[in-house]
Each structure stands twice: as structure tokens, then as C-alpha cells.
Amino acid sequence: MKQQQEGGVEAQGDVEGNRYGSRVDPYSLQPGDYMVHKKVAIGRFVAMKYDVGGKGSSEPVEYVFIEYGDGMAKLSVKQATGMLCRYNL
């Protein structure tokens, strides 16, 4: 954690509850909620759905669908839990 003193006020750098907002539990999202994917961009939550896992697996996996300006992204709930934060203005 990066910290510095400025005029007697402690300023925090990019930490767990960071400039992007707080991490989000995918199960708490409502359609239309805006969020930030730490490596991609700001997107809008669309839905959570089950789909067949990749690489020959027939076991269903739960995915989070996020709409971005240039298309739709599908993230597993496990991946989304660590990468998504609420969008704060």
C-alpha cells in the first residue's frame, strides 16, 4: 500500500478498495449496473447465466455477461469476483 502525507491528510494509493470502487459480489449485481473490469474498461452488467464450460467439458459453468461499447464479454463468476469493481463517479 502506497501512502504519503499531504498537508496533514493521509492520501492512499491504489489499494483493495481502490479508485475504481469496491470489489463487487457478482450475485449482488442488477441488470444495468455499471462496473469496471480492472484490465478492460467500464461496462454494464447484463445477466448471469449457465453455459457449458470450455475445452471439451460438458459441465455447466456460471458466467457473468457484461456489455462494453464494442461488444459483450463473458466471464466466469470465479474470474469476475476478483476483477470487477463498482463504478464510482
Q: Which pLDDT does position 21 carry in this prediction? A: 63
Buried b (16+ CB within 10 A) or exposed e, 63-72: bbbbeeeeee
Domains with residue ranges and CATH for the chain: 18-86 (2.40.10.170)
Residue pair 35/23 in contact (Cβ under 8 Å)? The answer is: no
Q: Which pLDDT does position 12 carry in this prediction? A: 31
Q: How far apart are CA 47 and CA 58, in angstroms?
A: 21
Cell for 87? 463504478
Q: Which pLDDT does position 34 carry in this prediction? A: 92
Q: Which pLDDT does position 56 carry in this prediction? A: 74
Taking the whole predicted model, whether its pTM rises above 0.75 is answered as no
Q: Which pLDDT does position 83 carry in this prediction? A: 85
pLDDT along the chain (89 residues), means of 10: 31 41 83 88 93 77 92 89 82
